[in-house]
Amino acid sequence: MTKTKDVRQAVDSELTFDPLVDATDIKVVNINGEVALNGTVPSYPQYLEAAVAAQRVDGVKDVHNHLEVKLSAADSRDDPTLTTSANNALMLNATVPDGIEATAHNGDITLTGIVSYGAERSVAELTVGGLTGVRNVKDNIEIINDADTVDVTLNVQEALDRYGLIPDDSDVVVDTSANTVTLSGHVRTWAEHDAVVDAAWMAAGVYEVRDDMYISG
């Protein structure tokens, strides 16, 4: 049995095993560890979870999520209703800064506004992503922070040094240019990869994170 077939079958099994994903209409394609998810799922949280499930499988180097959210009639919401629900959810979440607004169009939510940290933008995405009727979330929230580029690099590197999931001998390199952090080097697992990215987004002054890391397994 080839390694290509092993990985594809393992991803299929993991998707079926995951109780948060209906894998009935998902087709998995694997080319040398580059896994593509095609087909449909019935909700946006399942769209996100399917990619997470695939990333858990040994041998997966990257996941290309081409899934489409196909809502049932019962889960569909018109634009005004979904817009109101999303803005109410943002307002009720104390961790979402004031001024973040949501607009819905055919089930796709666009977020706008200004925050000081990438983590605040992520919270806004999660707040609306779980609402019934959401097909996708487009995040146009701007990050504005006057932190110096040197401080940004130092903050990210110190965060990586603190994180328990990131080994002391990690060769991840942090490079900052115009408040954009580029991460390079290799990590062993997707959990380690996500920990590095999360650490970078938590740092003050980070406007964008570019991921050039390699998962070695």
- What CATH number did the domain enclosing 153 receive? 3.30.1340.30
The 3-state DSSP class for residue 70 equals coil
Q: Higher-confidence residue: 11 or 61?
A: 11
Kindly state the average pLDDT of the residues 104-117.
95
pLDDT for the residue 158: 86
Per-residue 3-state assignment (H helix, E strand, C coil) for 74-86: CCCCCHHHHHHHH
Q: Is residue 184 part of a domain?
A: yes
Q: Out of 91, 111, 143, pick the residue that ends a domain.
A: 143
Give yes or no: residues 123 and 157 share one domain: no
Specify the number of domains making up the chain: 3
pTM for this structure?
A: 0.80
Q: Out of 69, 87, 112, pick the residue that ends a domain.
A: 69
User: Shortest CA distance to 170 belongs to which of 192, 149, 154?
Assistant: 192
Q: Higher-confidence residue: 117 or 70?
A: 70
| Residues 6 or more apart in contact with residue 173 via CB below 8 angstroms | 183, 184, 185
Task: Write down the residue that tokens 């948060």 correspond to.
Answer: 20
Characterize 122-155 residue by residue with b for buried, 16 or more Cβ atoms within 10 angstroms of its Cβ, and e for exposed. Answer: bbbbebbbebebbbebeeebebeeebeeeebbeb
Give yes or no: residues 139 and 153 share one domain: no
The predicted-structure confidence for 117-127, as pLDDT tens digits, reads as follows 888 999 999 99
User: Shortest CA distance to 215 belongs to which of 198, 183, 182, 192?
Assistant: 192
Question: How far is residue 78 CA from its own chain's centroid?
Answer: 26
Q: Which domain holds residue 7?
A: 3-69
Give yes or no: residues 115 and 168 share one domain: no
Q: Is residue 74 part of a domain?
A: no
Q: Is residue 108 part of a domain?
A: yes
Q: Out of 95, 124, 143, pick the residue that ends a domain.
A: 143
Give yes or no: residues 96 and 138 share one domain: yes
- pLDDT tier at 1, thresholds 50, 70, 90: very low
